[in-house]
Amino acid sequence: MKQYFLAPRTIERRGSFRRALYLKTGFLGAGLAAAAALATPTRAQTVAAPATTVPNPASSPATPPGAAAVPAAAAAPAPPATWASTITWGLQGDAGIQGNGDRPADGLNYGRLFDDKANTVLLNQIQATVTRPINSSATGYDFGFTLQGTFGTDARYLHYDGEFDELTTNSRYQFTVLQANALMHAPWLTAGGIDFKLGQFVTPIGYETIDPSTNPFYSHSYIFNFGPFQHTGLLAEWHVNPTLDLYGQIDTGESTTFDGGDNNGEPAGLFGIGLNNLAGGKLTLLALTHLGPENPTISVPNANSEMRYESDFIATYKATSKLTLVTELNYQHDDAFGADSYGAAQYISYALSPTWTANGRAELYRDNAGFFVFAYPGDLDSIRALKGLPNGSFTAGRATYSEFTAGLTYKPTVPHVALLAFRPEIRWDKSFSGTPAYDAGTQTGNFTFGGDVILGF
């Protein structure tokens, strides 16, 4: 989530965005757009047909002596699953608290978004989802969709500009549509085909996700907090072969929609590559870059010609059945303000048992102009910053941040419950540059402890 409240200033024009986008992305042009362009970043799982029940001979009545054995009647084949029968729905809640022994005067855990309120119980999300996933391995066409909305404190940072503005109230608890898209698998070009996603969707960039159930911790990395969250547009993934996936996307930018819902007048795009099944199936690599104007024209007059580049690289190595290592590297640049950020995070997860997992994260994040890392104390500060309107957001300025987080994930099996997870954690944030970013701008370091509970049906 970026800040945009800075006052307008005269900026040297660096050329048309459209020309830059076409030159830099190549396959985002008409060729791939017409042939198969842009791809979906997440492969949906195939919904299996109900298994056929076969009688157990040991439980059948004994054959009378001397009687000929009568062959068991063959079980009727299960009818194929209908498209409608593969639609699923889910309801998931997430609530937590992040204790801060400094008791900061402004009540904020600086450098955080979703867990930014210190010593306060937060109902982060009540998330409702209706979806019909597609089968990325299908030999023919397959169609699906996703509708997802969320209510809670996380929604303060997840609004699309210009969408449901009347529901964006001055309250800590808000509602937003998170995803609304159509899905299609097309058997084009190669055996693996191309997966498409059209509409509104969460970004494919980054290791951590908005959905808490797929993250190792309650708190998020700097890389996640101050990168893109959502897009409106067309996304696609071309499965060239079992090892190689190519990604492409065209969209309206970060957390924007169309016309009055876009804070500038130019499109954005994404391209990248995924490598699967390396090192004997243990290693996967994903490199994606999103680029386009992101600043609002209200505060940056030349915003339409000022590019922002966001690149992310993830290496996931499944060392053993219990040990997983993930390395994430991130770089961002904003032309309008000459700002750069550099991030690196290392994750380690070890399955202690079927229900317990130990997790660790170490991160270093450099914000060289005090442009990317911001705090939003007001409930509407984030969406007002996105629009380029006056707001109360603030930054600690140029700094090199670090955080070290350790925690446990406990997932017991509970009847009639799809997911129950507890994630306690401890975290130490430190400004290596000596910037007093924490405890209302009085400390260079900050210790927090807390966690959350996730319940899904």
3-state secondary structure of 35: helix
Would you state the pLDDT for residue 105?
96
Contact (Cβ atoms closer than 8 angstroms) between residue 373 and residue 401: yes
Does 374 have pLDDT greater than 70? yes
Does 69 have pLDDT greater than 50? no
Would you state the pLDDT for residue 72?
53
Does 26 have pLDDT greater than 90? no
* Mean pLDDT, residues 155-161 taken together: 96
Q: b vs e for 37-67, b when ≥16 Cβ sit within 10 Å of the residue's Cβ?
A: bbbbbbbbeeeeeeeeeeeeeeeeeeeeeee
Tell me whether residue 30 is exposed, middle or buried, using C-beta atoms within 10 angstroms of its C-beta: 0 to 12, 13 to 18, 19 or more.
exposed
Q: How confident is the model at residue 46 (pLDDT cuts 50, 70, 90)?
A: very low
Would you state the pLDDT for residue 81?
80
Maximum alpha-carbon separation in the chain: 101
Q: How confident is the model at residue 74 (pLDDT cuts 50, 70, 90)?
A: low
Q: Tokens 């969406």 — which residue? A: 383
Does 52 have pLDDT greater than 50? no
Average the pLDDT over each of 33-37, 122-126, 189-193, 352-356 and give the range with the smallest value. 33-37
Find, among 106, 119, 94, 105, the residue nearest to 448 by Cα. 119
Q: Between vectors from CA 196 to CA 185 and to CA 245, what angle results, nearest 5°?
A: 85
Would you state the pLDDT for residue 222?
98
Amino acid identity of 174? Q
Question: In terms of DSSP bridges, do strands 283-292 and 308-318 run parallel, antiparallel, or are they unpaired?
Answer: antiparallel
- The model carries a pTM of 0.84
Q: How confident is the model at residue 75 (pLDDT cuts 50, 70, 90)?
A: low
Q: Which two tokens stand for residue 65?
A: 């002596």
Tell me whether residue 358 is exposed, middle or buried, using C-beta atoms within 10 angstroms of its C-beta: 0 to 12, 13 to 18, 19 or more.
middle
Does 353 have pLDDT greater than 70? yes
* Mean pLDDT, residues 84-109 taken together: 96
Question: Side-chain half-sphere of 181: how many Cα atoms within 13 Å?
Answer: 24
Would you state the pLDDT for residue 259?
85
* Mean pLDDT, residues 46-72 taken together: 38
Q: What percent of the chain lies above the pLDDT cut of 70?
A: 83
Would you state the pLDDT for residue 260?
84
Find, among 101, 32, 15, 192, the residue nearest to 448 by Cα. 101
Does 148 have pLDDT greater than 90? yes
Does 29 have pLDDT greater than 80? no
d(CA 299, CA 264): 10
Would you state the pLDDT for residue 168?
74
Does 351 have pLDDT greater than 90? yes
Would you state the pLDDT for residue 319?
97
Find, among 382, 337, 77, 371, the residue nearest to 229 by Cα. 382
d(CA 360, CA 412): 21
Does 399 have pLDDT greater than 50? yes
Q: How confident is the model at residue 121 (pLDDT cuts 50, 70, 90)?
A: very high
Would you state the pLDDT for residue 71?
52
Would you state the pLDDT for residue 142?
97
Would you state the pLDDT for residue 288?
98
269 CB neighbour count, 10 Å cutoff: 23
pLDDT per residue as tens digits for the range 404-427: 999 999 999 999 999 999 999 999
Across 167-256, the runs of DSSP E, i.e. the strands, are 174-186, 194-202, 230-239, 244-251
Does 242 have pLDDT greater than 60? yes
Would you state the pLDDT for residue 45?
37
CB proximity list for 414: less than 8 A, separation 6 or greater:
420
CB proximity list for 347: less than 8 A, separation 6 or greater:
207, 216, 324, 325, 326, 327, 328, 359, 360, 361
Q: How confident is the model at residue 65 (pLDDT cuts 50, 70, 90)?
A: very low
Find, among 207, 445, 247, 240, the residue nearest to 348 by Cα. 207
Would you state the pLDDT for residue 36?
35
